[in-house]
Structure 1
Amino acid sequence: MLELKDFSLEYGENKILENINFSLEKGKVLGIVGPSGVGKTSLIKGIVGIYKGTSGKILYNGEEVYDNSKIKEKIAYVPDEHNSFYLITLREIIKFYKSIYNKFDEKKFYKINKIFKIPLNKRFLQLSKGMKMRVNLMVAFSLNAELLILDEPTSGLDPILKEKVLKMIVEEVANGDKSVIVSSHNLMELERICNDVLILNEGKIEYYNSLENIKRNVKKIQVAFDMPVYIEDLSFEGIFNINQVGRVFTIVIENNDDSFKEHINKFKPLFIEEIDLSLEEVFINRIEGKVIDEEIF
């Protein structure tokens, strides 16, 4: 199991990450999302042991990840930038990984390449961004690591290949002996594959929950009143955002339970309508406090 305990990272006087706490069990896919520049890649590089935190711990199976080669063998990482192999060919890449990773599965590599179709004699330098991503994905999946970490894994891929990569991610955790972390700006893709979602903002965890709980509890409520009601009257714990247009209020709330409904009913609403939210809408309302424009009636 992966555990982050009060993990913080600073560059000089700049706080990049502050008091990050979460855990990830095997058999699950965690999606990490957030605006650009909030520390997602730094967090990932801390998890894979590239960055040493200023304070706190990152543990895998109870052991520190940083400067621990035994633990790092259990982790596969696909970065968003793909220049690591440079002049060597795909055939040479296979040979390299076979020589240093006992669990490298050459048959699995070739099986995936039947889908990705990268010429074995092609030099890495000659490949497009999308083809470089395919090579890195093939390597990562073939390592048979317990923890697979993917930074923007569908970037540069066409829709058909994106679909296949998402299916591969789900299949990796199907047996319950592996876990996957995916950082992506494509929230529609994450919504299809993730068990848990972590929203990072300004170096801190803004929101962390299971996708199941988000779907069940986070709702958009549209309510209208015949009597004078103000935003301050409707304030309630767990509200992400309130927007008012005339007599109609749009409320995004995390816990749409009986106590919130009782609070609303005090003001004798004309109607109450409950609307499900996508992960993207939850993200926007949590980070920006914006309601997606739509016709009310």
Structure 2
Amino acid sequence: MSALVSVQNASKQYSKQGEGLHDISFELQAGQVLGLLGHNGAGKSTLINALLGAHEYSGTIRINGFEPLTQRDKIMQSLSYISDVNVLPGWMTVAQLLNYTEGVHTGFDRHKADELLRHTNIKLRTRIKALSKGMKVQLHLAVVIATNTQILILDEPTLGLDLVYRETFYRHLLEWFHDGERVLIIASHEVSEIEHLLADVLILKQGRSVLQSSMEAISEDYFILDANDEHRMQIETMNPLSFQKGLASTKWLLSSHHAKQAEALGAIYEVKLADLFLALQKEAV
């Protein structure tokens, strides 16, 4: 099966800011959810813009077999993008947006869009600029789902949304994902919020990959040791990635190579992606 998204040695050099992306490679098959993680300036937006064909890059990128820069019209037939910044035309009403999309996108299912919006508080006569941020995100997702897009890129989509809107957004997102052969890329620094959705993760720092792994492999490769401070010197010889001091003990993030050695020193816990993310962001590249 050919990859829906293929990135080989992608790099981006800015004339003033320097290197924005360095030698990134990955492939995504149908059914994969990739978490693209990193703090502001890590290179997430640079990579996304390369995938969208929004700026030049070196290396090779293929979206459903098409090259983003020269075949952008082709990739947009199967790829959609939702960011934290509203890009929907505020002067339009909701009905006008649906009418417009129906007219320009041959794959748009107006009935499906209407059905999705029927379960929200969004009214067809309301101008988009009058909608709350949560409603705008819901509307955008409804349009994307109704176009039966195959590849969806989300860039901090729930930033600033309350818990109710976030729960609704992710519920509809998962319904869409499991309803076909899809690929989902979620860029975020809210690691705990999306961890349960991910199959794979790519963590960027200063434009470089500091971790590229499946979620299953992360559980196998790292663990948390909660040990009394009397064992500190012994644990430090295991080259911990990070530690968190408690009242009477310390939690250490360690490589699985040291699992047997650590068993006698304290309690062993499964590592969370957020723990690993914070540890790698602190490390020097």
TM bin, normalised by shorter chain, reads 0.7 to 0.9
Q: Secondary structure at the match of 1:63?
A: coil
Equivalent positions of 1:169-248 (< 5 A) are 169-175=173-179, 177-223=181-227, 229=233, 233-235=237-239, 239-241=240-242
Measured in 2, the distance between the counterparts of 1:70 and 1:234 equals 50
Instruction: Decide whether the 8 Å contact of 2:35 with 2:202 is kept in 1.
Output: yes
Q: Secondary structure at the match of 2:49?
A: helix
2:275 is the counterpart of 1:281: yes
Q: Secondary structure at the match of 1:198?
A: strand
Measured in 2, the distance between the counterparts of 1:129 and 1:244 equals 38
Aligned sequence identity (%): 27
Measured in 2, the distance between the counterparts of 1:210 and 1:169 equals 21
Q: Secondary structure at the match of 2:153?
A: strand
Instruction: Decide whether the 8 Å contact of 1:32 with 1:182 is kept in 2.
Output: yes
Output one character per residue of 1:96-132: Cα deviation in whole Å (capped at 9) or x when no partner.
Answer: 1111211111112112212332121112222232222
Structure 1's unaligned 5+ residue stretches are: 290-297
- 2:254 maps to what in 1? 253
Q: Shift of the alpha carbon at 1:175?
A: 4.4
Output one character per residue of 1:77-109: Cα deviation in whole Å (capped at 9) or x when no partner.
Answer: 112211441311111111111112111111121
Measured in 2, the distance between the counterparts of 1:123 and 1:67 equals 35
Q: Secondary structure at the match of 2:31?
A: coil
Query: Structure 1 273/190 Cα, relative in aligned 2: closer, same or farther at 3 Å?
Result: same
Measured in 2, the distance between the counterparts of 1:211 and 1:227 equals 30
- 1:94 maps to what in 2? 98
- 1:118 maps to what in 2? 122
- Pick from 4, 7, 10: which aligns with 2:7? 4
The TM-score normalised by the length of structure 1 is: 0.83
Query: Structure 1 31/225 Cα, relative in aligned 2: closer, same or farther at 3 Å?
Result: closer
Structure 2's unaligned 5+ residue stretches are: none
AA matched with 2:113 = F
- Pick from 158, 173, 186: which aligns with 2:162? 158
2:101 is the counterpart of 1:108: no
Instruction: Decide whether the 8 Å contact of 1:215 with 1:277 is kept in 2.
Output: yes
Query: Structure 1 109/231 Cα, relative in aligned 2: closer, same or farther at 3 Å?
Result: same
Q: Secondary structure at the match of 1:145?
A: coil
Measured in 2, the distance between the counterparts of 1:228 and 1:46 equals 45
Query: Structure 1 281/3 Cα, relative in aligned 2: closer, same or farther at 3 Å?
Result: same
Q: Shift of the alpha carbon at 1:12?
A: 0.7
Query: Structure 1 160/229 Cα, relative in aligned 2: closer, same or farther at 3 Å?
Result: closer
Query: Structure 1 38/184 Cα, relative in aligned 2: closer, same or farther at 3 Å?
Result: same
- 1:294 maps to what in 2? none
- Pick from 135, 141, 146: which aligns with 1:137? 141
Query: Structure 1 224/85 Cα, relative in aligned 2: closer, same or farther at 3 Å?
Result: same
Q: Shift of the alpha carbon at 1:274?
A: 0.9
Measured in 2, the distance between the counterparts of 1:80 and 1:194 equals 19
The TM-score normalised by the length of structure 2 is: 0.86
Q: Of the two, which has the highest radius of gyration?
A: 1
Query: Structure 1 240/103 Cα, relative in aligned 2: closer, same or farther at 3 Å?
Result: same
AA matched with 1:253 = L
The count of residues paired between Structure 1 and Structure 2 equals: 278
2:70 is the counterpart of 1:67: yes
Instruction: Decide whether the 8 Å contact of 2:204 with 2:210 is kept in 1.
Output: yes
Instruction: Decide whether the 8 Å contact of 2:138 with 2:169 is kept in 1.
Output: no
Output one character per residue of 1:41-92: Cα deviation in whole Å (capped at 9) or x when no partner.
Answer: 2211211222221x11211233312231112211011122114413111111
Instruction: Decide whether the 8 Å contact of 2:84 with 2:158 is kept in 1.
Output: no
Measured in 1, the distance between the counterparts of 2:204 and 2:235 equals 27
